[in-house]
Amino acid sequence: MNPGQYKHRITFQQFIESETENGFPVEGGEDVITVYAAIRTLKGNEFYEAATTQNENNSRFIIRYRKGISPDMQIQMRDGRTFEIISLINDNEENKTLTIHAREVK
């Protein structure tokens, strides 16, 4: 594991619903944890499958293994983009890295 690959700062957010003082519903994300990640583009057939099915911006994030991250969270990048988590994979079941497949929310 090369630490220089983990150069993108991302924040995991838990989706919450709350109410304002007047009782109106408010939806948003509450920051859970901020980590460094490597971002990988989709390769060959993964890219073409994503493009032909939904034409979405899908990305793969790789972070150091950490407990407490779940598929119902979302990823917020420093540039303001938000990603919905599609799947979490504990690479080789070694508890060293997590690969997260995510779809950009527009």
pTM of the model: 0.76
- The pLDDT value recorded for residue 100 is 95
Task: Encode burial over 58-75: b for 16+ CB neighbours within 10 A, e otherwise.
Answer: bbbbbbeeeeebeeebbb
96 torsion bin: left (phi>0), alpha (psi -120 to 50), beta (else): alpha
Q: pLDDT below 70 — which residues of the chain?
A: 1, 43-56
104 in any annotated domain: no
85 in any annotated domain: no
Could you give the number of structural domains in the chain?
Answer: 1
20 in any annotated domain: yes
Domain of residue 52 covers 1-68
Encode pLDDT of 41-52 as tens digits: 776 555 455 555
